[in-house]
Amino acid sequence: MATLTLPGLATGIDTSALISQLVTVEGRRLAQYQVKQQAYEAQKMALESVRTKVSTLKSATNALADVSNLNIFTTSSSDNDILSISASSDANPGSHTVEVNQLATTETWIQDSSTFSYKTDYVGTGTFIYTYNNQTRAINTVANETTLEDLVNLINNDTSNPGVTASLLYHGGKYLLMLSGRDAGENYQISVDSKYTEVWKAATNLTDGGTSASLTTKITELDQFTLNGGLQGDEKIVISGKNHFGTSLADKEININNNTTVGQLIDAINEQFDGAATAKFVNGQIVLTDHLSDTSAMEISFTYDSGTGDTVLALPNMAVSTEGGGTPDVLALGSFSKTQSAQSSKIKIDGYPTSSTSEEQRLTLGSTATDGTFRLTYDGHTTANINYDATTEQIQAAMAAAGISGITVGGDKLSEN
């Protein structure tokens, strides 16, 4: 494209040269600004580098301020297949001997007999009821729709499954339903029930700051607790109740101080019911589950005694959530047998405890017994038939007559506890 220039046409001044010189002058100023900008960018990068190093230093000093990061121990075991160990920041250096007398095991129940030749056989209509870790589940099936394999999946995929895995065992040309606990320890027992198990729940939750309390929450920190003039030292919670058979239990008292926790209250409930029922704390709610299925006369209530002080504790009312017994249309799967018992481990550390621990076994009934007999076998000796309502003295005598010694029978008679 052609360019028309008229330098100095009217004034005699070469405007083109003037403009070129002005641009050159301004370019120098721009170059100076660009140099300054580069210097600022370099300073900024240096500052960011310093800031990063200071942050790293701060993190390192914070770690050094935590004593748990200074007390670091390595651990080793002579047999990791039997015992694996780890050390916390509270550990002290040293070596210890561990004697394992009994391993913890899970519990397993298997169907005694079966009519199912195929996994796809229909199981019929009804309700399959089982209990694990004192939590009862009822699984419903539909005639000409639910297969044996479907039942296994219904149990395993149940969102409220308390920790049981169902599977099928093929034996003698038949498929048997098998239930296995996922957790080891004597508390994780299974039962297959013909009746519902009674459950009591608190009408209201225990809260701390508007949210559900935990086992470690202190009683005095509960929203339900009012301090007023302060603790005087004689405040207590009184727990009253009855077992499955309606027998009144001795009141259990728990003294309240600044360190008493909700967990201690739950422990006190379990101590009072002593194996007849189990209390748990679930999302701020106290839950008490009977250990026997069928109609239950179990009861529980709380009373707060402020003693000589004026503190207030609004304890929840307990009420039946699931009524025991009922007439469920139980799924016809026949009887089940326990093939492996849940048991806790027994160990000695550096020879402690020094005394041997006696094994304790409890005889419990799946439901309230009204007739029948049972036998006991130990070390190759078996008793004669023992009545369902035998007293501890009668059971002890039957064992002695069978040549069984070294065992002491305790507790109430089976028809009561």
5: three-class secondary structure by DSSP: coil
> Is the whole-model pTM more than 0.75?
no
- The Cα–Cα gap between 190 and 128 comes to 13
What are the residues whose beta carbons fall under 8 Å from the beta carbon of 193, sequence distance 6 or more?
A: 129, 130, 131, 136, 293, 366, 367
The helix, strand and coil proportions of the chain, stated in percent and rounded to the nearest 5, come to: 20, 30, 50
What is the rounded average pLDDT of the residues 126-135?
Answer: 94
DSSP string across 12-43: S--HHHHHHHHHHHHHHHHHHHHHHHHHHHHH
pLDDT tens per residue, range 147-192: 999 999 999 999 999 999 999 999 999 999 999 999 999 889 999 9
What are the residues whose beta carbons fall under 8 Å from the beta carbon of 68, sequence distance 6 or more?
A: 88, 89
Q: Is 153 left (phi over 0), alpha (psi -120 to 50) or beta?
A: alpha
Q: For residue 249, what pLDDT is reported?
A: 95
Sign of the dihedral defined by the CA atoms of residues 231, 284, 185, 409, in that order: positive
pLDDT at 9 over 60: no
Sign of the dihedral defined by the CA atoms of residues 37, 40, 46, 51, in that order: negative
Is residue 179 within 8 A of residue 130, CB to CB? The reply is yes
What is the rounded average pLDDT of the residues 17-42?
Answer: 75
- CA angle, 252 then 293 then 319, to 5°: 50
pLDDT tens per residue, range 77-113: 888 887 788 887 777 888 888 888 888 899 999 999 9
Lowest-confidence region among 222-226, 256-260, 363-367? 363-367
Is residue 275 within 8 A of residue 362, CB to CB? The reply is yes
What count of residues does the chain have?
Answer: 417
pLDDT at 135 over 80: yes
